[in-house]
């Protein structure tokens, strides 16, 4: 690409400003703290020892757990895609009866996760679960402990992590030009062929991005294996957490984390390579909105309907039970005995009348909202540039921005503390520990890789000819960005913001080390009220907090995503093309015209 | 290049301005409370603890306010609080830390993050339970092996931890831990491994000692995340497991089970929760007054009454639950060389996690 040269890049003032701020941010908050913590970990006395590697590689348990984590990561990358694509097609592509209800069911993963989700599945399929009890009645010889081990973990995590598909793949699907599909149909293509040759190829950048996320989720699996893995399927994350907490074993934790991190980066490299060179946007001049497809084969139609509603049940049952159990007492939750007569509001009264009251909720909402907005706002520019300029500088930046994926958040937090507990020139001589900014910085940094991946994928599906047209008419870089690109990626950006916000709400790992003592976020309060050592009420509190968080995150998703997607469908296909500006642009160095795109085939159909 | 530098400078300046604007002022660390009467200066003391659950934090904040102290409790698990105190030692945020046991505090002391202070009540406690210099004992907790007494009679119950894996009737009937991150689990192993001290053995423990650990993991039923041991006892999955003394009464009631505890002939390990002054605090005098107040017989007695704990302060025993006091009076404490344990615990945990946990 002629536009991709490094020299072309630095000629644009826009690129320069973004580049300089980015360089500083990466150096100050991604590289320096983590280099510090890794140095302190691997070179405690100034000399390196191979101790950590030796210990780890000779430990059968560590190797098995590591193997399990990788197995889960690979398996999840496949299963999440299968289920994810299916539910996206069912809700957005095919004409299915009750697809709105189905959507709500599948969307339940937007609002909860973690240990409670695993517990929810256990209530249903575990040895004392509802479904298991039914099955045992039908098949008396059945093992009530059937739902455990790798299979159970994979099933639960597959259904728990289709959130990204529902948001981003669905969003990308809406961007497909219907005329291409109609044309293919007129040429005699079957439903299946259209799916395989037109629809799925257009979704590729987004699918690659969500595949990386699924892989990462599998590698970092924690609660599902703990609850359902049993003796035979334990993963590496619990070990990493234990070792992170023990100063003398922290090198093992760091080494394990780096191994997982490198695997993620490798995955990223493979996906980037696969993604390269394709055209993932509609190039038709007058594109039209996607219309839902009828499944013509009646047998297939029935099968898809049945499957869709089965999945709906799988998705919604745990949520229903979690909400019900949140009204039961802790002993009932743990012994799995639910009696409708024993449901009371006691748990909610206890949680909501605490001395701290609503304050931690507000603190968390403010922190999470700020961090989510800053991450997405800042990275909009960065993702755009990385997507546009494909040279070694851009690639280097891109990989550096993934550093937070490599280390567990506790180590990131420790790195920030040891780097900024004294006046540091990188931040103008300020001391950051003990301030309220340091947690915000940590929140922003941990969300960078996810935000960047998803934003980049969404920029990749924007038709560059719109931008070129605007540039030819004299629009300046920022104007093009604001009036053309932004409206097109806004739905995705809003969804990312909402997801970031949701995931930060109950953060504990970062906040425990960095929170200002007078401004403590929700995660710390939840931990204090739900830790194993906190009595029977602790488990009940976990459920109450989960339901309360479901409410907050549900509202967020509705406000941000629900509304923006509807707004989008109204204005769809009418990107705000700026009125031809009579002001002659200054040579428009920032928007070099791509020549290669024009040479691409007219549709991504090969 | 020069242009780039000035741009960097500008960006740094801009970001800092933005940062400062968004930041509330750090906790006043320069001010001192020298002129204040007992508490009452209005300054907020930051108190780190792992003992804030089940209403303890709120109780303490309210009582402290009555006594004229404004405190802000920052709760964290024992290991988290320890790591936090160590990580922050160059620019401490906490003024006082309490609730952590001697193992954690000796780690923090080794990192030079504690300030020596002798509280006014030092004469009322057994100095041996703390280090007699920086951290001082508040509450005693016994780490016990408990069993379902509805199912197992005292005669047929195990007599010691080692019975669990040497006698067939207990195999797979006891819960074993799945991680050594908690203080209770570490203390159980401190109690077992200490018996097999052998300076020529691996990490100071004889081969026989390590075999015990191996057997413990091979024959136990792994703990289930988010399912309390008492819940598993109630449902009959297991009959016994480790438990700190303070939780037993309350859990028995919640899960409607009866539990009796084993007192091995070597005694039981005691976890002693301590209090200490954080080195480098800007509110030293105020913090010292708080320590004097919190450890006093009055406050410890009230705390024990409220939370069924066993105070170390002898004058506070009168107010504590008599059953608890009697239990501890009869209890044989295991003689453990805590210095040896503290030195090796990190390595033990690592070895156990890597080699023996299955």
| Closest residue in chain A to residue B21, using alpha carbons only | A437
Q: What does the pLDDT average to over A447-461?
A: 89
In this complex, is the C-beta atom of B80 within 8 Å of any C-beta atom belonging to chain A? Answer: yes
Q: What is the dihedral of CA B21, B26, B27, B28, to 10 degrees?
A: -90
| Residue A302 CB neighbour total at 10 angstroms | 11
Contact B250 A60 (CB under 8 A): no
Partner residue opposite B80 with nearest CB, options A245, A330, A422: A245
Q: Are strands B240-244 and B135-148 parallel, antiparallel or unpaired?
A: antiparallel
Q: What does the pLDDT average to over B221-227?
A: 84
At residue B227, the 3 state secondary structure works out as coil
Q: How confident is the model over A495-547, as pLDDT tens digits?
A: 899 989 988 998 888 888 899 988 989 888 887 777 655 566 777 888 888 89
Using an 8 Å CB-CB cutoff, list chain A residues near B7. Answer: 16-17, 20
d(CA B347, CA A248): 7
Q: What does the pLDDT average to over B57-62?
A: 92
pLDDT at residue A4 tops 70:
no
Q: What does the pLDDT average to over B110-128?
A: 94
A347-356, A444-453, A594-603, B263-272: least confidently modelled range: A594-603
> First-to-last CA distance in chain A?
21
pLDDT at residue A211 tops 70:
yes
Q: What is the per-residue pLDDT for A127?
A: 82
d(CA B274, CA B98): 5
| Residue A422 CB neighbour total at 10 angstroms | 12
A264: Cβ contacts below 8 Å, ≥ 6 apart: A212, A215, A216, A219, A402, A405, A406
d(CA A104, CA A472): 44
Residue of A256, A261, A258, A216 lying closest to A62 (CA atoms):
A256
B146: Cβ contacts below 8 Å, ≥ 6 apart: B240, B241, B242, B243, B248, B259, B260, B261, B262
Question: Which architecture does CATH list for B141-269+336-356?
Answer: 3-Layer(aba) Sandwich (3.40)
Q: How confident is the model over A188-204, as pLDDT tens digits?
A: 888 889 998 889 988 88
Q: Which long-range contacts (CB under 8 A, 24 or more apart) does B300-307 make?
A: B300/B138, B300/B139, B302/B63, B303/B56, B303/B59, B303/B60, B303/B139, B304/B139, B306/B59, B307/B54, B307/B56, B307/B59, B307/B246
Q: What is the per-residue pLDDT for A531?
A: 63
Which positions 116-155 of B are in contact with A (Cβ < 8 Å)?
none
B322: Cβ contacts below 8 Å, ≥ 6 apart: none
Q: What is the per-residue pLDDT for B108?
A: 93
Identify whether the C-beta of residue A490 lies closer than 8 Å to the C-beta of residue A175: no
Identify whether the C-beta of residue A243 lies closer than 8 Å to the C-beta of residue A252: yes
Chain B nearest-CA distance from A475, in A, is 26
d(CA A491, CA A171): 8
Q: Is the dihedral of CA A359, A360, A363, A366 positive or negative?
A: negative
Q: How confident is the model at residue A562 (pLDDT cuts 50, 70, 90)?
A: low
Using an 8 Å CB-CB cutoff, list chain B residues near A533. Answer: 53, 182, 184, 244, 247
Q: Is the ipTM of this complex over 0.85?
A: no
Q: Which of B225, B341, B352 to mutate to test the interface with A (most CBs of A within 10 A)?
A: B225
Q: What is the dihedral of CA A140, A145, A146, A150, to 10 degrees?
A: -170
User: Which tokens belong to B59?
Assistant: 């109780």
In this complex, is the C-beta atom of B21 within 8 Å of any C-beta atom belonging to chain A? Answer: no
Chain B nearest-CA distance from A320, in A, is 19
Contact B350 A243 (CB under 8 A): yes
Chain A nearest-CA distance from B7, in A, is 7
Identify whether the C-beta of residue B51 lies closer than 8 Å to the C-beta of residue B99: yes
Q: What is the mean pLDDT of chain A?
A: 83
Percent of chain A predicted with pLDDT > 70: 88
Q: What is the per-residue pLDDT for B196?
A: 96
Q: Which of B12, B235, B242 to mutate to test the interface with A (most CBs of A within 10 A)?
A: B12
Chain A nearest-CA distance from B110, in A, is 12
In this complex, is the C-beta atom of B181 within 8 Å of any C-beta atom belonging to chain A? Answer: yes
Partner residue opposite A518 with nearest CB, options B27, B53, B79: B27
Chain A nearest-CA distance from B84, in A, is 6
3-class DSSP string for A394-439: HHHHHHHCCHHHHCCHHHHHHHHHHHHCCCEHHHCCECCCCCCHHH
| Closest residue in chain A to residue B62, using alpha carbons only | A355
User: Which tokens belong to A595?
Assistant: 């020549």
A335-344, A582-591, B260-269: least confidently modelled range: A582-591
User: Which tokens belong to A514?
Assistant: 């960095």
Chain A nearest-CA distance from B123, in A, is 31
Which positions 272-291 of B are in contact with A (Cβ < 8 Å)?
none
d(CA B139, CA A357): 29
Kindly calculate the radius of gyration of chain A based on its CA atoms and give it in whole angstroms. 25
Residue of A143, A448, A533 lying closest to B226 (CA atoms):
A533
Place of tokens 């019975």: B163
Q: Which long-range contacts (CB under 8 A, 24 or more apart) does B169-172 make?
A: B170/B219, B170/B239, B170/B240, B171/B219, B172/B219, B172/B220, B172/B221
pLDDT at residue A586 tops 70:
no
Identify whether the C-beta of residue B294 lies closer than 8 Å to the C-beta of residue B310: no
Q: How confident is the model at residue A563 (pLDDT cuts 50, 70, 90)?
A: low
Rounded to the nearest angstrom, the gap between the alpha carbon of residue B345 and the centroid of all alpha carbons in its chain is 14
Identify whether the C-beta of residue A337 lies closer than 8 Å to the C-beta of residue A461: no
A421: Cβ contacts below 8 Å, ≥ 6 apart: A431, A432, A433, B87, B88, B90, B91
CB pairs < 8 Å spanning A and B: 202
Residue ranges matching CATH 3.40.190.10 in chain B: 40-140+272-330, 141-269+336-356
What domains can be seen in chain A, in order of their start residue? 53-282+300-325 (1.10.3720.10)
Partner residue opposite A421 with nearest CB, options B23, B46, B90: B90
pLDDT at residue B218 tops 50:
yes
User: Which tokens belong to A354?
Assistant: 């605490």
**A317 or A289, greater pLDDT:** A317
User: Which tokens belong to B155?
Assistant: 């005669």
| Residue B48 CB neighbour total at 10 angstroms | 27
Q: How confident is the model over B141-163, as pLDDT tens digits?
A: 999 999 999 999 999 999 999 99
Q: What is the per-residue pLDDT for A113?
A: 78
Contact A434 B234 (CB under 8 A): no
Q: What is the per-residue pLDDT for A596?
A: 34
d(CA A250, CA A248): 6
At residue B47, the 3 state secondary structure works out as strand
Does CATH place domain B40-140+272-330 in 3.10.50.40? no
Q: Which of B226, B280, B308 to mutate to test the interface with A (most CBs of A within 10 A)?
A: B226
Q: What is the per-residue pLDDT for B190?
A: 94
pLDDT at residue A572 tops 60:
no
Alpha helices, DSSP H, located in B200-296: 207-219, 229-234, 248-255, 284-294
Q: Which of A15, A242, A440, A520 to mutate to test the interface with B (most CBs of B within 10 A)?
A: A242
d(CA B259, CA B348): 30
Residue of B210, B241, B220 lying closest to B347 (CA atoms):
B210
d(CA A128, CA A148): 12
Q: How confident is the model at residue A603 (pLDDT cuts 50, 70, 90)?
A: very low
d(CA A208, CA A203): 9
Q: What is the per-residue pLDDT for A408?
A: 82
d(CA A439, CA A447): 12
Q: What does the pLDDT average to over B178-182?
A: 84
Q: Which of A517, A521, A527, A540 to mutate to test the interface with B (most CBs of B within 10 A)?
A: A517
In this complex, is the C-beta atom of B11 within 8 Å of any C-beta atom belonging to chain A? Answer: yes
Identify whether the C-beta of residue A154 lies closer than 8 Å to the C-beta of residue A147: no
Contact A440 B349 (CB under 8 A): no
d(CA B110, CA B105): 8
Using an 8 Å CB-CB cutoff, list chain B residues near A435. Answer: 23-24, 26
């Amino acid at each position: 690409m002629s536009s991709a040269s490094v020299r072309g890049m630095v000629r644009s003032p826009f690129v320069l400003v973004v580049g300089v701020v980015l360089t500083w941010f990466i150096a100050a908050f991604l590289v320096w703290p983590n280099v510090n913590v890794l140095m302190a970990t691997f070179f405690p006395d100034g000399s390196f020892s191979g101790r950590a590697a030796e210990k780890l590689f000779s430990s059968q348990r560590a190797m098995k757990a590591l193997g399990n984590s990788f197995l889960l990561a690979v398996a999840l990358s496949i299963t999440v895609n299968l289920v994810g694509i299916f539910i996206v097609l069912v809700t957005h592509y095919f004409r299915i009866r009750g697809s709105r209800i189905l959507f709500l069911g599948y969307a339940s993963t937007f609002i909860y996760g973690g240990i409670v989700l695993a517990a929810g599945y256990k209530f249903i399929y575990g040895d004392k679960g509802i479904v298991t009890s039914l099955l045992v009645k039908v098949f008396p010889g059945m093992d009530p402990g059937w739902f455990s081990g790798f299979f159970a973990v994979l099933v639960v995590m597959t259904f728990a992590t289709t959130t990204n598909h529902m948001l981003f793949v669905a969003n990308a699907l809406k961007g497909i030009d219907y005329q291409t599909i109609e044309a293919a149909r007129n040429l005699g293509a079957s439903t299946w062929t259209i799916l395989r040759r037109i629809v799925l190829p257009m979704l590729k950048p987004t699918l690659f991005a969500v595949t990386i996320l699924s892989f990462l989720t599998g590698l970092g699996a924690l609660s599902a294996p703990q609850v359902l893995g049993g003796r035979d399927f334990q993963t590496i994350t619990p070990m990493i957490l234990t070792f992170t907490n023990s100063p003398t074993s922290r090198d093992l934790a760091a080494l394990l984390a780096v191994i997982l991190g490198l695997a993620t980066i490798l995955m990223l490299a493979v996906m980037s390579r696969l993604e390269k060179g394709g055209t993932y946007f509609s190039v038709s001049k007058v594109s039209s909105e996607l219309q839902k497809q009828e499944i013509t084969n009646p047998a297939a139609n029935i099968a898809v309907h049945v499957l869709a509603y089965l999945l709906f049940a799988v998705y919604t049952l745990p949520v229903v039970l979690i909400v019900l159990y949140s009204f039961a007492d802790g002993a009932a939750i743990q012994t799995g005995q639910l009696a409708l007569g024993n449901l009371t509001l006691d748990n909610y009264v206890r949680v909501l009348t605490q001395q701290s009251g609503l304050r931690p909720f507000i603190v968390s909402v403010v922190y999470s909202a700020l961090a989510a907005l800053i991450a997405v706002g800042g990275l909009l520019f960065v993702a755009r540039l990385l997507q546009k300029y494909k040279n070694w500088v851009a690639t280097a930046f891109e990989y550096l921005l993934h550093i937070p994926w490599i280390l567990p958040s506790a180590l990131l937090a420790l790195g920030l503390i040891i780097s900024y507990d004294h006046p540091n020139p990188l931040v103008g001589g300020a001391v950051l520990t003990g301030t309220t900014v340091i947690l915000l910085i940590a929140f922003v940094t941990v969300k960078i890789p996810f935000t960047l991946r998803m934003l980049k994928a969404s920029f990749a599906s924007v038709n560059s000819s719109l931008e070129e047209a605007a540039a030819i008419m004299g629009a300046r870089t920022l104007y093009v960005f604001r009036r053309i690109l932004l409206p097109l990626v806004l739905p995705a950006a809003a969804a990312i913001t909402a997801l970031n916000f949701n995931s930060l709400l109950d953060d504990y790992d970062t906040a425990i080390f960095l929170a200002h003592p007078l401004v403590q976020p929700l995660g710390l309060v939840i931990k204090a009220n739900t830790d194993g050592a906190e009595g029977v009420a602790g488990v009940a509190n976990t459920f109450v907090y989960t339901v309360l968080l479901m409410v907050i995150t549900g509202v967020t998703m509705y406000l941000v995503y629900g509304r923006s997607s509807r707004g989008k469908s109204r204005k769809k296909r009418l990107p705000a093309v700026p009125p031809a500006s009579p002001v002659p642009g200054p040579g428009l160095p920032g928007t070099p015209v791509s020549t290669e795109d024009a040479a691409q085939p007219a549709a991504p159909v090969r | 290049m020069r242009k780039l530098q000035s741009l960097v400078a500008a960006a740094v300046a801009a970001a800092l301005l933005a940062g400062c604007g968004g930041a509330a002022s750090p906790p006043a660390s320069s001010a001192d409370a020298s002129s204040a009467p007992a508490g009452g200066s209005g300054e907020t003391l930051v108190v780190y603890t792992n003992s804030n659950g089940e209403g303890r934090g709120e109780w303490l904040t309210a009582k402290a306010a009555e006594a004229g102290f404004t405190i802000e409790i920052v709760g964290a698990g024992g290991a988290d609080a320890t790591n936090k105190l160590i990580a922050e030692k160059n620019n401490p945020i906490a003024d006082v830390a309490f609730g952590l046991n001697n193992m954690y505090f000796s780690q923090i002391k080794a990192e030079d993050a504690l300030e020596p202070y002798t509280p006014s009540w030092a004469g009322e406690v057994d100095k041996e339970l703390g280090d007699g210099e920086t951290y001082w004992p508040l509450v005693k907790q016994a780490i016990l092996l408990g069993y379902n007494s509805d199912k197992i009679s005292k005669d047929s119950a195990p007599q010691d931890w080692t019975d669990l894996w040497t006698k067939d009737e207990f195999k797979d009937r006891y819960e074993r831990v799945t991680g050594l991150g908690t203080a209770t689990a570490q203390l159980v192993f401190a109690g077992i491994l200490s018996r097999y001290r052998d300076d020529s053995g691996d990490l100071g423990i004889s081969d026989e000692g390590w075999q015990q650990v191996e057997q413990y993991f091979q024959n136990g039923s792994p703990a289930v995340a988010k399912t309390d041991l008492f819940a598993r006892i109630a449902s009959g999955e297991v009959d016994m497991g480790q438990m700190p003394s303070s939780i037993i009464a309350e859990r028995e009631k919640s899960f409607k089970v009866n539990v009796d505890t084993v007192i091995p002939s070597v005694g039981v390990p005691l976890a002693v929760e301590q209090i200490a002054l954080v080195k480098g605090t800007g509110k030293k005098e105020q913090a010292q007054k708080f320590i004097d107040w919190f450890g006093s017989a009055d406050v410890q007695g009230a705390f024990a009454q409220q939370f069924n704990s066993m105070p170390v302060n002898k004058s506070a025993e009168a107010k504590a639950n008599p059953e608890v006091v009697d239990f501890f009076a009869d209890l044989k404490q295991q003689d453990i060389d805590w210095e040896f344990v503290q030195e090796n615990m990190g390595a033990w945990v690592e070895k156990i996690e890597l080699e023996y946990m299955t």
